[in-house]
Amino acid sequence: MRNKPLAGRGIVVTRPRELAGALAAAIEKAGGAAVLFPTIVIEDVPPPAALRGLEAYDLAVFVSPTAVQKVMAQVPMWPERLQAAAIGAGSRRELERHGVRGVLAPEEGADSEALLNVPELQRVGGRRVVIFRGGTGRPLLGDGLAARGASVEYADCYRRVLAKTDPAPLLALWRRGGVHAVTVSSSEGLKNFVTLVGAPRLAAIPLFVPHARVAARALEHGAREVVVSGPADAAVLERLVAYFHERD
């Protein structure tokens, strides 16, 4: 049906449960069945020391909407002089929702490479930068800013751990032919999916990923059909609809 382009399709959503709602709702609205299978759990950590002296920084970078939420839950008022930057549009919107204005973010893309290309970040010599993140990740952003002369600090405001999701119901649905695609939002989410259900599953299903580097990891794990959709919910849905439309 034209207004239900995903009718009859079971789409696995592997995002953390608290972040999966919008994409799941969009899939359901398009007629699909959203199968929630979180592969990452977000856990709280003690407030980072950087929150006690935000005014000392010149730039605060947020790597995800979750980082924004965790920080803003503990910051009653954002320092007026502190410039904020976001990896992508989702983090920028979350900052704006909390009243932060003038957020630096890439016009296109949602990764460290894209943020490093923002014109305002080409000359950061002598500036003090804090990067709010969820545990270890790629060092590219921090290294890139430091190479331009910035003093860079990392502040972990949450951590991501392997979810203890029981794979049995998903695997049973898979055997009944109820799984038609899997969406992942990060390399870590992909790795955890493989841990929970096994790499051979990737060879039997189209996999929708946000970035080319995640696609490369998927191919290393044996995936045969990988679609790079971008990270935004609307982009993922658009690619899902286009993919299955071509096969109807």
State residue 2's pLDDT score: 67
> Average pLDDT of 118-142?
92
* Residue % of the chain over a pLDDT of 70: 99
CA atoms within 13 A on the CB side of 166: 4
pLDDT score for 110: 79
Three-state DSSP class for 155?
A: strand
Whether residue 152 is predicted with pLDDT greater than 60 in this model: the reply is: yes
Summarize pLDDT for 221-230 with one digit per residue, the tens: 999 999 999 8
Does 22 have pLDDT greater than 70? yes
Determine how β-strand 10-13 pairs with β-strand 40-43.
Answer: unpaired
| Average confidence score pLDDT of the chain | 94
Tell me which DSSP letter residue 160 carries: E
Q: Is pLDDT larger for residue 137 or for residue 150?
A: 150
For residue range 36-53, what is the model confidence (pLDDT) as tens digits?
999 999 999 999 999 999
- Contact in structure between 217 and 191 (CB atoms under 8 Å): yes
Structure tokens given for 92: 């920028």
**Helix pair 89-97, 65-72: axis angle to 10 deg:** 20
- CA distance to 39, 81, 88, 113, per residue, from 106 (Å): 28, 21, 6, 9
Query: Which two three-digit tokens encode residue 223?
Result: 């995936």
The reported pLDDT for the residue numbered 99 is: 94
Task: Quote the distance between the C-alpha of residue 7 and its chain's center.
Answer: 26
Task: Indicate the helix (H) or strand (E) that contains 135.
Answer: none
Judging by beta carbons within 10 Å of its beta carbon (0-12, 13-18, 19+), is residue 152 exposed, middle or buried? buried
Please state, as a whole number, how many other Cβ atoms lie within 10 Å of the Cβ of residue 173: 16
Q: What is the C-alpha to C-alpha distance for residues 5 and 23, in angstroms, rounded to an integer?
A: 15
Residue 18's identity, in one-letter code, is E
